[in-house]
Amino acid sequence: MSEENPTRGLFITVEGIDGAGKTTQARMLAWWLSERGHEVVLTREPGGTALGAALRKLLLDGGARVGAEAELMLYAADRAQHVEEVVRPALGEGRTVVCERYADSTAAYQGCGRRLDLEFVERLNRFVTGGMEPDLTLLLDVDPQAARQRLAEIPDRLEREQPEFHERVAAGYRALARRYRERIRIIDANAAPEQAFRQVARVMEDFLRAPRRLAKGGGQ
pLDDT recorded at residue 62: 61
> Cβ atoms within 10 A of the Cβ of 8, count?
23
Average pLDDT over residues 58-63: 78
Please state, in angstroms and rounded to a whole number, the distance separating the CA atoms of residues 132 and 9: 12
Residue-range domain boundaries for the chain: 2-209
Reported as a single tens digit per residue, the pLDDT across 92-113 is: 999 999 999 999 999 999 999 9
pLDDT of the residue at 129: 98
Helix-strand-coil percent breakdown of the chain, rounded to 5? 55, 10, 35
Task: Characterize 22-32 residue by residue with b for buried, 16 or more Cβ atoms within 10 angstroms of its Cβ, and e for exposed.
Answer: bebbbebbbeb
C-alpha to C-alpha distance for 134 and 29, rounded to whole angstroms = 15
| DSSP assignment letter at 13 | E
Q: How confident is the model at residue 218 (pLDDT cuts 50, 70, 90)?
A: low
Q: What is the mean pLDDT of residues 143-163?
A: 79
What pTM did the predictor assign?
0.91
Say whether pLDDT at 29 is over 80: yes
pLDDT (0 to 100) of residue 154:
61
**pLDDT at residue 60 in the model:** 83
The CATH superfamily label for domain 2-209 reads P-loop containing nucleotide triphosphate hydrolases (3.40.50.300)
Q: What is the pLDDT of residue 220?
A: 41
Rg (CA), the chain: 16
Assess whether pLDDT exceeds 70 at residue 86.
Answer: yes
